[in-house]
């Protein structure tokens, strides 16, 4: 059981499970519907609101610090859908002043014309899934947009009034060279986003790429891409604050930081996950919950007395150390040892004594007041987590 008595900050994640076509690398809960399918917007809206209402009793008097709408492809839904959803949320849960509300969107022509409606609905941060500006790479990734589509999407987002824009980019793509990876970064930087998510393509289980893997760059090339790309981003004024996240000053993603700082979050929608803390006799009881995964089954739960929760699991004391470390150590600045003790109940002195193997391997920064991964530790985070889990 976690020892702090004060409840952590609270965010909300909303999952929209549909997309035009499932990408071969995607392991998220997404379901391809084609370009012409009509989505059940009204039924899904009713289900989301009912899902939220069922969770409200668990959050206390806290306000939402951020809302993130992910998928799938959330930009398949209309602006009116989000206007009504955000209004319903605000009627049921207090919103913090200046709340960050993010929507993931595809750069394809199907969604771009809706950006103005999304901004009017109250969404103030847009995350565009660009992945690459090279058309051959986009085709290899199964994306439905082109590099030109991505550039036009950024222009239309700006015209719609979005002044907080994230671009998602992948590296380590099939047959990618360092020169091609840097060309993608340069095109992204030329569009002047406030935030960049730059992460390596991985072959996840239960994906098409895992079953039929493409030819990925050799490890030495991947190291070169990471080193050169990190240097290029820093030179352009983007500061790395998380393993794969770079931002201009004051533009870090509040919602994601809440995850890494072990904050709480509600998860509503098909397959959404949440983490909630509840007061206990000697601290906080932390529970992870997940909702019915299949969209059709999720919609049927609207009239089902069982509700939308598919399962829940309390984090026990043995798991808490690793759970907290897995999140906090993604942040480049790491975590203060006092915060470590507060969240895990483990004395900071004991952790410090047990980390000598990590120091010997150069995986942590030598700072007696913090637990912070070194640049090498960020590259070999799983090794560092293994050492911590053995404390």
Q: Comparing C-alpha atoms, which of 328, 339, 334, 319 is closest to residue 375?
A: 334
pLDDT, residue 369, reads 85
* DSSP E strand boundaries for the chain: 10-16, 18-19, 31-32, 64-71, 95-105, 125-131, 165-171, 195-200, 239-242, 245-247, 264-268, 273-280, 283-291, 309-314, 335-336, 370-371
pLDDT, residue 249, reads 86
pLDDT, residue 43, reads 97
> Could you report the per-residue pLDDT of 42-91, keeping only the tens digit for each?
999 999 999 999 999 899 889 999 999 999 999 999 999 999 999 999 99
Buried b (16+ CB within 10 A) or exposed e, 193-229: bbbbbbebbebeeebebeeeeeebbeeebbebbbebb
Long-range contacts of 18-22 (CB under 8 A, 24+ apart): 18/71, 18/72, 18/73, 18/76, 18/295, 19/71, 19/72, 19/73, 19/76, 19/106, 20/73, 20/76, 20/106, 20/108, 20/110, 20/144, 21/142, 21/144, 22/142
Sign of CA dihedral 204, 10, 335, 339: negative
pLDDT, residue 278, reads 87
Q: Is 124 left (phi over 0), alpha (psi -120 to 50) or beta?
A: alpha
pLDDT, residue 202, reads 92
pLDDT, residue 280, reads 74
CA angle 270, 326, 9 (to 5 degrees): 65
- Tell me the pLDDT of the chain (391 aa) as tens digits: 454 557 899 999 999 999 999 999 998 999 998 875 789 999 999 999 999 999 998 998 899 999 999 999 999 999 999 999 999 999 999 999 999 999 999 998 556 679 999 999 999 999 999 999 999 999 999 999 999 999 999 999 999 999 999 999 999 999 999 999 999 999 999 999 999 999 999 999 989 999 999 999 999 999 999 999 999 999 999 999 999 999 998 899 999 999 999 999 999 999 999 999 988 777 788 999 999 999 999 999 999 988 999 999 999 887 888 899 999 999 999 988 888 878 887 787 777 777 888 888 999 998 888 889 999 999 899 989 888 877 6
Cβ–Cβ contacts within 10 Å for residue 174, how many?
A: 15
pLDDT, residue 5, reads 54
Instruction: Annotate 236-293 with DSSP letters as a single string.
Output: TTPEEEETTEEE-TT---HHHHHHHTT-EEEEESTT-EEEEEEEETTEEEEEEEEE--
pLDDT, residue 109, reads 58
Rounded to an integer, what distance in angstroms lies between the CA atom of residue 314 and that of residue 322? Answer: 14
Q: Comparing C-alpha atoms, which of 25, 380, 19, 382 is closest to residue 204?
A: 25
Q: Six-digit token pair at 255?
A: 């919602």
Instruction: Annotate 40-72 with DSSP letters as a single string.
Output: -HHHHHHHHHHHHHHHGGGSTTPPEEEEEEEES
pLDDT, residue 19, reads 92
Nearest 10 degrees: Cα torsion 366, 370, 375, 381: 120
- H-helix or E-strand spanning residue 155: helix 147-159
- H-helix or E-strand spanning residue 367: none
Rounded to an integer, what distance in angstroms lies between the CA atom of residue 272 and that of residue 44? Answer: 14
Would you say the pTM of this structure is higher than 0.85?
yes
> Could you report the per-residue pLDDT of 151-206, keeping only the tens digit for each?
999 999 999 999 999 999 999 999 999 999 999 999 999 999 999 999 999 999 98
Assess contact for 108 and 152: CB atoms under 8 A.
no
């Amino acid at each position: 059981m976690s020892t702090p008595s004060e409840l952590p900050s609270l965010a909300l994640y909303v999952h929209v499970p549909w997309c035009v076509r499932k990408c071969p690398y995607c392991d998220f809960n997404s379901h391809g519907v084609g370009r012409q399918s009509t989505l059940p917007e009204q039924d899904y809206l009713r289900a989301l609101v009912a899902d939220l209402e069922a969770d409200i009793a668990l959050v206390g008097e806290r306000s939402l610090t951020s809302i993130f709408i992910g998928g799938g492809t959330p930009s398949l839904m209309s602006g009116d859908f989000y206007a009504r959803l955000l209004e319903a949320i605000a009627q049921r849960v207090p919103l913090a002043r200046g709340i960050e509300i993010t929507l993931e969107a595809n750069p394809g022509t199907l969604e771009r014309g809706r950006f103005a409606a999304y901004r009017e609905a109250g969404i103030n941060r847009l995350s565009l899934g660009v992945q690459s500006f090279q058309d051959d790479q986009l085709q290899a990734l199964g994306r439905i947009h082109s590099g030109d589509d991505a550039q036009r999407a950024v222009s239309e987002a700006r015209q719609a009034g979005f002044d907080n824009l994230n671009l998602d980019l992948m590296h380590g793509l099939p047959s990618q060279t360092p020169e091609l990876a840097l060309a993608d970064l340069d095109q992204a930087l030329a569009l002047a986003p406030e935030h960049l998510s730059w992460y390596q393509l991985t072959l996840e289980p239960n994906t098409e790429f895992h079953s039929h893997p493409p030819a990925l760059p050799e490890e030495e090339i991947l190291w070169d891409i990471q080193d050169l790309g990190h240097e290029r981003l820093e030179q352009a004024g983007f500061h790395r604050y998380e393993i794969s996240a770079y931002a201009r000053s004051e533009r870090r993603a509040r919602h994601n930081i809440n995850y890494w700082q072990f904050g709480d979050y509600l998860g509503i929608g098909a397959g959404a996950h949440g983490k909630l803390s509840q007061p206990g006799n000697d601290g906080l009881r932390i529970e992870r919950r997940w909702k019915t995964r299949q969209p059709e089954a999720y919609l049927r739960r609207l009239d089902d007395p069982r509700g939308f929760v598919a399962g829940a699991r309390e984090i026990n004391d043995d798991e808490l150390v690793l759970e907290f470390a897995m999140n906090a150590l993604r942040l480049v600045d790491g975590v203060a040892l006092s915060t470590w003790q507060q969240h895990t109940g483990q004395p900071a002195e004991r952790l410090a004594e047990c980390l000598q193997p990590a120091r010997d391997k150069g995986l942590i920064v030598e700072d007696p007041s913090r637990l912070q991964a070194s640049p090498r530790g960020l590259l070999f985070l799983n090794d560092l987590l293994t050492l911590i889990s053995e404390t």
